[in-house]
Structure 1
Amino acid sequence: MSNRYAVILAGGKGKRLWPVSTDALPKQFLKLVDDKTLLQATFERLASFIGPANIRISVLEEFRPLVEQQLPFLNNEAIIVEPEGRNTAPSIALAVILIQRKDPDAVIGIFPVDHYIPSEFSGDFQKDIMTAYDFAANNDQIVTIGMEATSPSTAYGYLEYEPGRQTDKIYKVKNYLEKPSQAVAEKLLNGATCFWNGGIFVFKANVYLKALKQHLSETYRLLHELPPVCSSDYFSRLKTNYGLTEKGSIDRGLMEKLDNVQAVKAGFKRVDLGNFEVLSGLWQKDKDQNRNCGNALFISSKECISYADSGRIIFNECDGIVVLQAENNVVVCPRNKLLNLDQVKELTDGK
């Protein structure tokens, strides 16, 4: 078990939960569902069976103080700093290379920070992740988690699998498609041999680095030639080399190109906290389907959404209205425009 590691990807600056999530304080460092931040909850979930000493946090340099504040028991080795945001392919590559230097036999799991796992599924989550670790440890395969696909959504990646099974819960992935078109998603769903991509990856370090060297060779070279972390010029070299890596996601940069991918069929449910429509589904609800986080009063109102980090928001005879108050911003919009907040943020930047 000591050669099993987990990397939490905590470096993003998503715009879809603005104004609650901001560039200075993104969602992973906020308490959006309960009394723990997303980072704290993810760490705690993994520490229960991976062990805290083998967990690494991949994070942008500017957010390192937030990680140290929220997980004060971590040592320096546990925080892997990205000098700039270049998406998941370079950040995962850096983490894997640094872990393998310490442990050449490492089996590594990659976990998003913004997944909410309801407590009733914690046991199933652990069981499925351990299945992935066990399979990856004994095979030269990259293992991901396949979630049940319930609609032809274009918000998720798809794993098209071969009908036969490798084991009871593990399927050979035939095609890995990152966020396909509506037509392709419908075709996949009608074929009844697909999962949604769960965004979790487990592999032996040497298997992943072999694939990286083949498909993202410049990224591999630039990060592989970095000096030891303890050396005086590590961070200056990292800043230079990291900025030259091939920018992009692990999905398009690597996973779509591989033929050694397996999927564990998930027995747990997870919520990807990527927008307020999804997030607010975890908040308090009243009999009129109003959703609330903070202090709100709903008078003759229905299907409204409220978030307030201070003060009280009062809805009077409102139908499907959203009010989000965070620090100096108050956003008001119809509920059917809730998914456009990233565009609203861009329009308000600098104003």
Structure 2
Amino acid sequence: MHYAVIMAGGSGQRLWPLSREHRPKQIINIFAEQSLLRLCVNRVRHIFDPEHILVVTNAEYAAVVREHLPDLPAENVLGEPMGRNTANAIGLAATVLKLKSPEAVMAVFSADQIIEPVAPLAEAIREALSFIESHPTALFTFGIKARYAHTGLGYLKRGSDAGQDGIFSVAAFKEKPNKSTAHKYIRSGKYCWNSGMFVWRVDTILQQLECFLPHNAERLRRIGQAWQGESRDEVLQQEFGELENISIDFAVMERAQEVYMCELDCHWEDVGSYQTLADNIGAVDQDDNVTTPETRCEWLDCQNNIAISESPDHLIAAVHVEDLIIVHTPDATLICRRDETDRLREMLGQLKDKGHERYL
């Protein structure tokens, strides 16, 4: 049995005010009137039927996600009481799947990615599923052919040939490099971007968590024992809060022995900022000003700006400005330098401190 697990728990603070606490970035219809989550479900439906697609999200978003994805069974949307990073989102999904089929193979995806075209990805997933069927104790991940020396992504170093066309061992996981190191990776021809997508057996990943995170594994086991009973919510709330907050790369992938990969040559983006959003849905003029399709904007002597509006009848007029991000929504407007977006969380904290929670 094969399952897809989509991680959709991020709050998307770097995309405020488009993304809000009640409306996270994964469900905003920004790509051809479709959300990132909808696009991800559509991609995996090339291989998995709706009954075999699970979504792990924050508990406060669960009802919204179920409404957003009516083609998925309601029980396939799992709500985390609080964010505890990817190791525990994956651990929760594996714990639930173990109750159905402990020897099932699960493929893990992130909801906030753009991958085009879909056909090469679908073929790579099929190959990975087949590889895991014949190598049940292995862990599989996907690299993305590096188009340039990206300093905001982790890298995978390709190891030896695994004896199956296009599949290699992973020699090393590398954290986000500086510019010089990233250029060395590209020149070597041995590195690719780390996509954060995985394939493995349910029982194998739970065994790996038991090996490297026994504290977390015990709490996940308690959650599994209570999952089909009346105490599920109480136990989930209690035990999940005790989990160590850690990514699957740090917890398992960088420490495990049998890790394999294939490399995808496709357009891939992790949509975590206005820059990546603009790169994928915006039109660029001769002065490098980016405007999204639904945005009405007039530029006068402006360079290198981004304008996004949720109101098609609202006009943005900009005069002699450069390097700005301008985002208009019906109740909040953001104006920020393009190189200062890492301070958005600071602004959200200020809004909360001043009693403006309704805008968060």
Q: TM-score, normalised to structure 1's length?
A: 0.92
Where do residues 121-140 of structure 1 align in structure 2 (5 Å cutoff)?
121-139=117-135, 140=137
C-alpha deviation, 1:317, in angstroms: 3.7
Q: Name 1:221's counterpart in structure 2.
A: 218
Cα distance in structure 2, aligned partners of 1:137 and 1:77? 26
Q: Which amino acid aligns with 1:303?
A: N
C-alpha deviation, 1:252, in angstroms: 1.0
- The yes-or-no answer on 1:320 pairing with 2:323 is yes
Q: Given the alignment, which residue of 158, 167, 170 partners 1:170?
A: 167
C-alpha deviation, 1:20, in angstroms: 1.3
C-alpha deviation, 1:170, in angstroms: 1.0
- The yes-or-no answer on 1:305 pairing with 2:306 is yes
Q: Name 1:335's counterpart in structure 2.
A: 338
Tell me if the contact between 1:166 and 1:172 (Cα under 8 Å) persists in the aligned partners: no
C-alpha deviation, 1:273, in angstroms: 0.7
Q: Name 2:199's counterpart in structure 1.
A: 202
Q: Which amino acid aligns with 2:33?
A: D
Tell me if the contact between 1:15 and 1:341 (Cα under 8 Å) persists in the aligned partners: yes
Q: Which amino acid aligns with 1:290?
A: N
Residues 130 and 263 (structure 1 numbering): CA distance in 2 closer, same or farther, change over 3 Å? same
Q: Which amino acid aligns with 1:92?
A: I
Residues 286 and 234 (structure 1 numbering): CA distance in 2 closer, same or farther, change over 3 Å? closer
| Residue aligned with 1:225, SS | helix
Cα distance in structure 2, aligned partners of 1:306 and 1:264? 37
C-alpha deviation, 1:186, in angstroms: 4.5
C-alpha deviation, 1:347, in angstroms: 4.1
Tell me if the contact between 1:29 and 1:37 (Cα under 8 Å) persists in the aligned partners: yes
Residues 340 and 296 (structure 1 numbering): CA distance in 2 closer, same or farther, change over 3 Å? farther
| Residue aligned with 1:323, SS | strand
Where do residues 146-157 of structure 1 align in structure 2 (5 Å cutoff)?
146-157=143-154
Q: Which amino acid aligns with 1:104?
A: P
Tell me if the contact between 2:307 and 2:325 (Cα under 8 Å) persists in the aligned partners: yes
Kindly, what percent of the aligned residue pairs are identical?
26
| Residue aligned with 2:22, SS | coil
Q: Name 2:295's counterpart in structure 1.
A: 295
Tell me if the contact between 1:161 and 1:174 (Cα under 8 Å) persists in the aligned partners: yes
Cα distance in structure 2, aligned partners of 1:131 and 1:122? 14
CA offset digits 1:33-87 (Å, max 9, x no partner): 2211111111111112211110001011100111121012332331112111111
Residues 49 and 164 (structure 1 numbering): CA distance in 2 closer, same or farther, change over 3 Å? closer
| Residue aligned with 1:198, SS | strand
C-alpha deviation, 1:146, in angstroms: 0.6
Cα distance in structure 1, aligned partners of 2:333 and 2:190? 44
C-alpha deviation, 1:309, in angstroms: 1.4
- The yes-or-no answer on 1:85 pairing with 2:83 is yes
Residues 29 and 224 (structure 1 numbering): CA distance in 2 closer, same or farther, change over 3 Å? same
Cα RMSD over matched residues?
2.0
Q: Name 1:8's counterpart in structure 2.
A: 6
Residues 335 and 180 (structure 1 numbering): CA distance in 2 closer, same or farther, change over 3 Å? closer
Deviates more, 1:231-240 or 1:287-296: 287-296
Q: Name 1:253's counterpart in structure 2.
A: 251
Cα distance in structure 1, aligned partners of 2:33 and 2:114? 13
Cα distance in structure 2, aligned partners of 1:131 and 1:20? 37
Cα distance in structure 2, aligned partners of 1:187 and 1:48? 36
Cα distance in structure 2, aligned partners of 1:212 and 1:262? 18
Residues 251 and 181 (structure 1 numbering): CA distance in 2 closer, same or farther, change over 3 Å? farther
C-alpha deviation, 1:338, in angstroms: 4.1
Tell me if the contact between 2:291 and 2:297 (Cα under 8 Å) persists in the aligned partners: no
C-alpha deviation, 1:164, in angstroms: 3.7
C-alpha deviation, 1:4, in angstroms: 0.6
Q: Name 2:232's counterpart in structure 1.
A: 234
Cα distance in structure 2, aligned partners of 1:101 and 1:134? 23
CA offset digits 1:142-182 (Å, max 9, x no partner): 11111112344331111112254532211110112233455
Q: Which amino acid aligns with 2:290?
A: R
Tell me if the contact between 2:50 and 2:71 (Cα under 8 Å) persists in the aligned partners: no
| Residue aligned with 1:282, SS | helix
Q: Given the alignment, which residue of 19, 23, 38 partners 2:21?
A: 23
Q: Which amino acid aligns with 2:45?
A: A
| Residue aligned with 2:37, SS | helix
Tell me if the contact between 1:145 and 1:263 (Cα under 8 Å) persists in the aligned partners: yes
C-alpha deviation, 1:189, in angstroms: 3.5
Q: Name 1:58's counterpart in structure 2.
A: 56
Tell me if the contact between 1:107 and 1:136 (Cα under 8 Å) persists in the aligned partners: yes
Cα distance in structure 2, aligned partners of 1:194 and 1:11? 28
CA offset digits 1:79-124 (Å, max 9, x no partner): 1121111111111101011102101220001100001123xx1111
C-alpha deviation, 1:324, in angstroms: 0.9
Q: Name 2:357's counterpart in structure 1.
A: none
Deviates more, 1:341-350 or 1:323-332: 341-350
Cα distance in structure 1, aligned partners of 2:59 and 2:280? 31
Cα distance in structure 2, aligned partners of 1:219 and 1:23? 27
